[in-house]
Amino acid sequence: MKPIIMIAWLLIAINFGLISACHASDRKGLILTKEGITKIQASLGKTPLFDKTLQQLKTEVDAEIEQGIDTPIPRDFSGGYTHQRHKANFFLLQKAGVLFQILEDEKYANYVRDMFFQYEAMYKDLPLHPQTRSYARGKLFWQSLNDSNWLVYAAQAYDAIYDWLPAADRETLEDNLFKPFADHISIDSPQFFNRVHNHSTWGAAAVGMIGLVMQDEELIQRALYGLEEDGLAIGAKDDDGGFLKVEGQGAGFFANLNEPFSPDGYYTEGPYYQRYAMYPFLVFAQALNNARPDLDVLNYKNGVLLKAVDVLLNLSDADGDFFPINDGQKGMSYYNDAVVTAVNIAYFYGNKDPRLLSIAEKQGRVLLDDTGYAVAAGIRDGLAKKFTKGSENYSDGSDGDEGGLGLLRHGDEALTLLFKYTAQGLSHGHYDKLSFSLYGQGEEIMQDYGLARFVNIEQKGGGNYLPENKTWAKQTIAHNTLVQNRQSHFSGKYEIGSLHHSQLRFYDASNKAVQVISAEELNAYPGTKMQRTMAMIKDEAFEKAFVLDLFKADAQNNHQYDLPFYYFGQILKSNIDYQIPRTLKPLGDNNGYQHLYLEAEGIANSENTKFSWLDKGRFYTLTMATEQGDKVQLARIGANDPQFNLRKDPAIILSRKNAKQTLFASVIEPHGSYTPVSESAHNSNSNIAELLVLQDDDNYTAVSIKTVKGDMRYFVVANKNVNKAAKHQLKLNGQTYHWTGPFQYFYLN
């Protein structure tokens, strides 16, 4: 049946009472409210995006109903059949429930009931999942996390058929399936349930949502505030090395809202996990909002949950892909289902922000509930506005005082710099203080590696973290930041990293021509102060915006420093006098260096080292102010990788030995373009004739940039007083310069 015809038929069917209505009761709906259902049914056929989504869901669920129900005995890791089947099942349960609520066709209720009873029959005697890798094994899945996923969706399906189901059936399901299921992921798994972690958010939502349907106050309280007794030792860790419990840690839904979210709405694990956690946070919040409006969860902590949706969308590149900091998998984007949920809920319960509608338009589907209906109606009524992403600075830490994440953007995402000066980011954090990544539209110019894992691809370690995640992806050398003595920050120790965070010095994106962020890190290498200032500059003397990077290290003793840049593409030209080794050897033995092959090594030019490359039709030049004795290494990821788990991406590493107080000044300069269709190269050479360090001491750092045509610029930054109103003066090349505030960009001619 064509969608239009189908919808028309449904309208007639509902209006003429051809489909029997649900048994009425006074229960509030968990997600879909009674009022919502009435409104939606009355609007069928009139709201294109809603109708389209409904039709897609119906087609999908109808096909699955045809196939029959399969609830196999659990056996596999992620990516394996039993895992995939149970995962598909919980989505289907929820979808069939929604279809029953909107279309009132009993075949969907029957399907939900029948599947539940198959699970009920199996669950009673089900042992722990046979795969033993997890710190908290589930029963249907290898980890309680996935069991919690199941229950979050199953609770919605149970709610959908609750009134329709005979009381005796409800009792059977609750006694044999839902209650023991909720207990297993909470009481039986305190190490999973009582953490502050995205895992526990899923656990809380699962227990809380089934509790709301069952009207089981004890489960609801457990979900909101955690287990009173968990028997966990302070400092205990999970199988990925994350803490299970730290001093003073709360538990349950509110603790997980309090702690990982900063007041700005940034989630400490990073956007990949924020996306994952948002679904249970928001769907449970929506359910609580319906059932327990007195808790006012959506306004909790100044409405952090809805703020977080905005932050999440901003933490994406021009294609909507989330920045893969920490253990983030590349390619995850705001097209993910969880973000459909987030956008719809944020629109409905927030200020009806019309920018969210343009994201929903791109997503091309909505939730089949009150919120999704509102979004579809808003789009239909032409209210959508472009979601323009600008420069932003987000604090990290529950009180917003544990560093943060800064974004400098030029143009309509033509150039985006992500600068990371966060806290550790819980167990998914990487040891990469003051690191950055750079994007040109949706393309990576300087990458963050992301994680070493193929999520849900069973051939790669069962879809789990691969050994190289620890030995490579988490290590400092794998990131665009400074490494001292070939050691990772905090010696790569989670216990130490978790105690610290970097500090913002200043952030100023008020002048679109010169946007600057500066932060310092005092603890990554004890006794060494690291300070990085990054400026995104759009100067008329340059074709495109460029990035000026001033990385200052100040130590009590002499050390060796390595500063890598993970570019992409093909090398065009450099002024490095390098040698090519006869055979490729790893750069080192540990801390990630064992995974890098040395492809070339040479002496840096004593003034400026220049390195140009071409990637996806764009030219780039890295200009580094180098010193006598500096060494440049060209490296490639992939050494000591027996299972070929790593990507063979390139890096250029600047190395400096015996340095105490030192500055790494560089410019990353995108320029020109190349089109193979016309075979024409435009502006393929750097516009920088010279980058010089004019001064670098405790008070000031100053560099000069001279263009090929002879335009001269100075960039100065104060190293002590970064007060916005502070007045500074500095003599450079015989002339005195005055300015106010922490930095200035001087146009000399």
Contact by Cβ (8 Å): 322, 328: yes
φ/ψ (deg, to 5) at 553: -120, 135
Among 585, 657, 720, 727, binds its own copies (CB under 8 A): 585
**Among 250-258, 402-410, 503-511, 676-684, which window interacts with its own copies (CB under 8 A)?**
676-684
Binding status of residue 708 toward its own copies by CB under 8 A: no
Q: Give the nearer residue to its own copies in terms of CB position, either 132 or 583.
A: 583
Among 101, 256, 336, 623, binds its own copies (CB under 8 A): 336
CA distance 654 to 351: 49
CA distance 181 to 120: 10
Binding status of residue 707 toward its own copies by CB under 8 A: no
Binding status of residue 335 toward its own copies by CB under 8 A: yes
In the complex, the smallest distance separating the C-beta of residue 421 from its own copies, rounded to whole angstroms, is: 27
Binding status of residue 278 toward its own copies by CB under 8 A: no
**Is 714 among the catalytic positions?**
no
For strand 503-508 and strand 483-484, is the pairing parallel, antiparallel, or unpaired? Answer: unpaired
Site for its own copies in 460-489 (CB under 8 A): 460, 463
* Crossing angle for the helix pair 106-123 and 81-103, to the nearest 10 degrees: 140
Binding status of residue 684 toward its own copies by CB under 8 A: yes
DSSP 666-729: EEEEEE-EEETTTTEEES-S-SEEEEEEEEESSSEEEEEEEETT--EEEEEEESS---TT-EEE
Among 68, 676, 710, 734, binds its own copies (CB under 8 A): 676
Among 628, 678, 736, 749, binds its own copies (CB under 8 A): 678
Among 584, 692, 694, 732, binds its own copies (CB under 8 A): 584
Binding status of residue 573 toward its own copies by CB under 8 A: yes
Among 636, 656, 713, 728, binds its own copies (CB under 8 A): 636
Burial (CB < 10 A; 0-12, 13-18, 19+), residue 39, is middle
Give the other-Cβ count within 10 Å of 471's Cβ.
20
Catalytic residue among 111, 153, 272, 273: 273
Q: Give the nearer residue to its own copies in terms of CB position, either 105 or 599.
A: 599
* Crossing angle for the helix pair 106-123 and 144-161, to the nearest 10 degrees: 140
CA distance 698 to 480: 24
**Among 231-239, 441-449, 452-460, 522-530, which window interacts with its own copies (CB under 8 A)?**
452-460
Catalytic residue among 199, 428, 430, 728: 428
Q: Give the nearer residue to its own copies in terms of CB position, either 208 or 638.
A: 638
Binding status of residue 603 toward its own copies by CB under 8 A: no
Binding status of residue 236 toward its own copies by CB under 8 A: no
DSSP 3-23: HHHHHHHHHHHHHTT-SPPPP
Among 540, 677, 710, 749, binds its own copies (CB under 8 A): 677
In the complex, the smallest distance separating the C-beta of residue 576 from its own copies, rounded to whole angstroms, is: 11
φ/ψ (deg, to 5) at 596: -105, 125
Among 157, 614, 652, 653, binds its own copies (CB under 8 A): 614
**Among 298-306, 420-428, 473-481, 644-652, which window interacts with its own copies (CB under 8 A)?**
644-652
In one letter, which amino acid is 501? H
Binding status of residue 459 toward its own copies by CB under 8 A: yes
In the complex, the smallest distance separating the C-beta of residue 500 from its own copies, rounded to whole angstroms, is: 32
φ/ψ (deg, to 5) at 204: -65, -45
Binding status of residue 46 toward its own copies by CB under 8 A: no
Q: Give the nearer residue to its own copies in terms of CB position, either 458 or 495.
A: 458
Site for its own copies in 53-82 (CB under 8 A): 79
Binding status of residue 572 toward its own copies by CB under 8 A: yes
**Angstrom distances, CA of residue 167 to CA of 99, 163, 465:** 22, 9, 44
Binding status of residue 594 toward its own copies by CB under 8 A: no
**Is 273 among the catalytic positions?**
yes
Q: Give the nearer residue to its own copies in terms of CB position, either 243 or 279.
A: 279
**Among 8-16, 188-196, 343-351, 670-678, which window interacts with its own copies (CB under 8 A)?**
670-678
**Among 27-35, 454-462, 475-483, 702-710, which window interacts with its own copies (CB under 8 A)?**
454-462
Burial (CB < 10 A; 0-12, 13-18, 19+), residue 676, is exposed
Binding status of residue 647 toward its own copies by CB under 8 A: yes
Binding status of residue 329 toward its own copies by CB under 8 A: yes
Contact by Cβ (8 Å): 446, 438: yes
What tokens does 506 get?
A: 């200043």
φ/ψ (deg, to 5) at 580: -100, 125
Contact by Cβ (8 Å): 177, 116: yes
Determine the 3-state secondary structure of 280 from DSSP. helix
Among 118, 456, 590, 695, binds its own copies (CB under 8 A): 456
**Among 25-33, 110-118, 502-510, 638-646, which window interacts with its own copies (CB under 8 A)?**
638-646
Q: Give the nearer residue to its own copies in terms of CB position, either 121 or 457.
A: 457
In the complex, the smallest distance separating the C-beta of residue 456 from its own copies, rounded to whole angstroms, is: 5
CA distance 12 to 14: 5
Binding status of residue 577 toward its own copies by CB under 8 A: no
In the complex, the smallest distance separating the C-beta of residue 335 from its own copies, rounded to whole angstroms, is: 5
Binding status of residue 589 toward its own copies by CB under 8 A: no
Binding status of residue 125 toward its own copies by CB under 8 A: no
Binding status of residue 491 toward its own copies by CB under 8 A: no
Give the other-Cβ count within 10 Å of 212's Cβ.
24
Contact by Cβ (8 Å): 745, 537: yes
Contact by Cβ (8 Å): 720, 712: no
**Among 94-102, 174-182, 193-201, 583-591, which window interacts with its own copies (CB under 8 A)?**
583-591
What tokens does 559 get?
A: 């050390």
**Among 640-648, 696-704, 706-714, 726-734, which window interacts with its own copies (CB under 8 A)?**
640-648
Among 323, 454, 490, 546, binds its own copies (CB under 8 A): 454
Burial (CB < 10 A; 0-12, 13-18, 19+), residue 556, is exposed
Contact by Cβ (8 Å): 468, 641: yes
Could you write out the three-class secondary structure of 61-114? HHHHHHHCCCCCCCCCCCCCHHHHHHHHHHHHHHHHHHHHHHHCCHHHHHHHHH
Catalogue the active-site residues: 273, 428
Q: Return residues touching its own copies (CB under 8 A).
A: 79, 84, 329-333, 335-337, 454-460, 463, 570-573, 580, 582-585, 597, 599-600, 612, 614, 634, 636, 638, 640-644, 647-648, 650, 674-681, 684-685
